Amino acid sequence: MKKALVLAVGSVVALSGLLGACAYNEALGRNQFVFVDDSALIQQSRAAWAETLRTQKVSNNAAQNARVRRVGDRIVQAARLTDRPWDYAVFEDASPNAFVLPSGHIGVTTGLLSLAKNDDQLATVIGHEVGHVVARHAAERSSTNAATGLVLGAVQSQAGDYGQAVQAFGGLGAQLGVLLPFSRSHELEADRLGVDYLTAAGYKPSEAVALWRLMAQQRQSSTPQFASTHPSDQTRIAALEQYIASRGWN
């Protein structure tokens, strides 16, 4: 079983390394392992957006929606993504959160709008979400997940009586060893790109650090960083401070 588990995780790493040169992302300055169809992702994203609008409570507060659109449009222009339509929605949810879809849809919760003390801090979050789009993180993540599933399936078929154990422990090993750290890397990349865009849009980069400090104060999760899809607040804040200082911003 141990041999099969090692083979499963090792195969994913090897596959990513061999195929990583299939796409180069200039904004990130690195190659990406991407083989999923962007058009399929966009189609799925549009369906997901329609479903979210149907099932979640959308705020009709005109001032809140105007604020998100105003800040969002400035960030989109700074990121040079005006070649596609963008749509925004404010969802009535006390949890401070936001999300982006590759189709050009951004959702922001009322909880986040309450937490963000100014538009600079709101621009931090929207810039981060737009950064995920520029970085093609959704496509990269989908490709990695698909490859992981294929490799683990192949190993399980060769595991004989240990097949069930490989499925249980192999999936966990791949998640902790490959997928979760990769997701944390995506988050830090989106942070960096987001600061670039909010600064180009005329917002204060120092407010990015202030926003994540506010997030850290209200966060209740105790999940350790090694088992989390997001960097720890301390890691994120330190990385932002270092990047902003390296660019000579304040």
Residue matched to tokens 């596609």? 84
Q: What strands lie across the sheet with 105-109, from one edge to the other? A: 87-91, 105-109, 98-101
pLDDT surpassing 60 at residue 45: yes
Helix (H) or strand (E) holding 129: helix 119-134
Of the candidates 26, 51, 92, 129, the residue annotated as catalytic is: 129
pLDDT at 163: 39
Helix then strand then coil, in percent of the chain rounded to 5, is: 70, 10, 25
**Residue 227 CB: number of other CB atoms within 10 A?**
10
Least confident range of 14-23, 122-131, 209-218: 14-23
Q: Could you give the C-alpha distances from 155 to 3, 38, 50, 55, 172, in angstroms and in order? A: 10, 29, 38, 39, 14
Tokens of 104: 């050009």
Reduce the DSSP state of residue 58 to 3 states and report it: strand
As a whole-number percent, the residues of the chain with pLDDT over 70 amount to 70
pTM of the model: 0.74
Which tens digit of pLDDT belongs to each residue from 182-231? Answer: 578 888 999 999 999 999 999 999 999 999 999 888 876 656 555 466 78
Count CA within 13 A, CB hemisphere, residue 49: 21
Helix (H, G, I), strand (E, B) or coil at 89: strand
**Is 152:174 a contact under the CB 8 Å cutoff?**
yes
For the cut 50, the answer to whether the pLDDT of residue 18 exceeds it is: no
Of 10 and 238, which is predicted with more confidence?
238
Per-residue pLDDT tens digits for 94-118: 988 888 888 899 999 999 999 999 9
Active site residue 129: yes
SS3 154: helix
Q: Give the pLDDT confidence of 136-171 residue by residue, as tens digits.
A: 877 787 766 665 554 444 434 444 443 343 344 344
